[in-house]
Amino acid sequence: MKKGIDFIGVGTGALIFNDQGEVFLAQRGPKARNEVGKWEFPGGAVEFGETCERAIVREIKEEFDIQIEVVEFLEVVNHILPDEKQHWVSPSFVAKHIKGIPQITEPQKCLGFKWIKISEIKPEELSSASRSSYKKFIEKYGLGHVF
């Protein structure tokens, strides 16, 4: 049985800000579960017995070898992809980059990454879950807020 396909999966994601006020975006790779090629606020699946906050810290360390700190909860996204027959419930957070230089440790899942000003993001290039979190962040804080 597969998470998100045979039963609803729980994933988590984060808008990760650096000291320059830029947010971290990753491009979904060929072995990503869905929405290959789209840019996203990175995250991953929550493991049994793990909190969503702990899961996002673990996933970012595993996939990009950086340490983050969760600042606050942003929203819950119902990530429903009818064409791919997937359904994920994904709490989204705002986080701060603490240390480390990002590197791609799972190239099959990630084609690239970048730090970008939130005002320069093109929502149409984001995955559907990240687009929702982007809109929620802008609604809550506007384009000029820095963490």
Give backbone dihedrals phi and psi of 128, rounded to 5 degrees, phi first.
-60, -40
What are the tens digits of pLDDT across the range 123-132? Answer: 999 999 999 9
The tokens of 126 are what?
């984001």
Q: Which residues are CB-contacts of 90 (< 8 A; sequence separation ≥ 6)?
A: 10, 11, 12, 13, 43, 76, 77, 78, 79, 129
- Confidence bin at 145 (pLDDT 50/70/90): confident
Mean pLDDT throughout 33-42? 90
- The backbone region for 66, taken as left when phi is positive above 0, alpha when psi lies in -120 to 50, beta otherwise, is beta
pLDDT in tens, 42-57: 999 999 999 999 999 9
Sequence ranges of the domains in the chain: 9-141
Residue the block writes with tokens 């595993």? 62
Please state the pTM of the whole predicted model. Answer: 0.91
User: Domain 9-141: which topology?
Assistant: Nucleoside Triphosphate Pyrophosphohydrolase (3.90.79)
